[in-house]
Amino acid sequence: MSRIKWFVSLILLLALTLLTASAFAQDAAPEVLVTADWLEQNLEDPNVRIIEVSVNPGVFERGHIPGAVNFVWHTDFVNPLERDVVSAERFQELLRGAGVNDDTTVILYGDSNNWFAAWGAWIFNLYGFEDVRLLDGGRVKWEADGRPLSTDSATFEAGSVTIGEADDELRALKPEVLSIVEGETLASLIDIRSPAEYNGEIFAPEGVQELAIRAGHIPGALNVPWGQNVNEDGTFKSLEELQVLYGGLGVDGSQPIVTYCRIGERAALTWFVLHELLGYDVALYDGSWTEWGNSVGVPVENPAGTVWGGQ
């Protein structure tokens, strides 16, 4: 081979390598996450809206990311009277009040490893909003990095976003879960609660109010605690690590998946990992254990053998 042909071949090989690396980088950093660096650089972008969704009262008022507005998950993202998600009409009203348009980029973040921010991302996706992303690491990492916080209340001109009907493919209801348990529907069930909850050793984490009168798990469900999805600083593990984690349990996206927890918020984090990061077909069973464990006539697996009242 002449030196010229060798040189051309080398250039083509390098170009192919760069294209492959670029494609991999896009796969490894999907536009459903933003870094703290990116967000700090885009705080003044008028097309970006930042929404905090935290569970602990008072954290937003103590200080929040500049320009952020506060959505309260148990009143803004759900129906406060019925056990259901927020209606399309109410959701549209909230978003317009926050200055959100159809082409707005919405960044969600919160405390507790983005549990409720991930629930918010599920709601946005449920209603077909195009560009919603999570702040990787959430509030904890933002504060740990020493980044700016504000106590000012942000106000915006009313937005014009239009919200349509909910996408039923992203949500699983109890009859659908029962059909999986009974073998009528082929899908994987993933219980993201702690092993103690899954095994029936405890009914729920200490201090919570929403309880079931039966302990244990849905028959056939795999137990993958939500914390296995994240690093110590709250950021998500790499795509390769996540694929190994779930692939080792036979969950590789080859069939639909349903995630659940106690009331749906922790399961939303796993839904985000599997659906948004890995691109699998995943629905969230937001009724979760507080519905299943309180239902009459549904099967329960309880390795610990606990009964009502923990006796």
Is residue 186 domain-shared with residue 284, that is, in the same domain?
Answer: yes
pLDDT for residue 74: 82
Q: What residues are labeled active site?
A: 261
pLDDT for residue 103: 97
Is residue 231 domain-shared with residue 197, that is, in the same domain?
Answer: yes
Distances (CA, A) of 53 to 42, 71, 148, 295, 297: 19, 5, 18, 30, 35
Is residue 231 domain-shared with residue 287, that is, in the same domain?
Answer: yes
Distances (CA, A) of 25 to 30, 31, 242, 303: 8, 11, 16, 43
Quote the tokens at residue 68.
């952020």
pLDDT for residue 75: 87
Buried-exposed string 229-245: b where 16+ CB fall within 10 A, e elsewhere: bbeeebbbbebeebbee
Is residue 149 domain-shared with residue 212, that is, in the same domain?
Answer: no
Is residue 219 domain-shared with residue 266, that is, in the same domain?
Answer: yes
User: What's the DSSP call for residue 170?
Assistant: G
Q: For residue 271, give the nearest of 259, 262, 281 by alpha carbon.
A: 259
Whether residue 272 is contained in a domain is answered as yes
CA pair distance 71, 76, nearest whole angstrom: 6
pLDDT for residue 157: 97
| Final residue of a structural domain among 166, 189, 209 | 166
The count of C-alpha atoms lying within 13 angstroms of the C-alpha of 235, restricted to the half-sphere facing its C-beta, is 15
CA pair distance 43, 276, nearest whole angstrom: 24
| Final residue of a structural domain among 105, 134, 166 | 166
Which secondary-structure segment (H or E) carries 138?
Answer: helix 138-144
Q: Consecutive 10-residue runs of the chain (311 residues): their mean pLDDT?
A: 44 36 36 96 97 94 97 89 94 98 98 94 96 97 97 95 95 98 97 96 83 94 97 95 97 97 95 97 97 96 80 44
Quote the tokens at residue 80.
């406060």
pLDDT for residue 155: 93
CA pair distance 311, 92, nearest whole angstrom: 47
Whether residue 1 is contained in a domain is answered as no
Q: How many domains does the chain have?
A: 2
Q: Kindly tell me the sign of the dihedral angle through the C-alpha atoms of 306, 228, 68, 124.
A: negative
Domain housing 102: 33-166
Whether residue 15 is contained in a domain is answered as no
pLDDT for residue 309: 54
Contact call for residues 289 and 282 (beta carbons, < 8 A): no
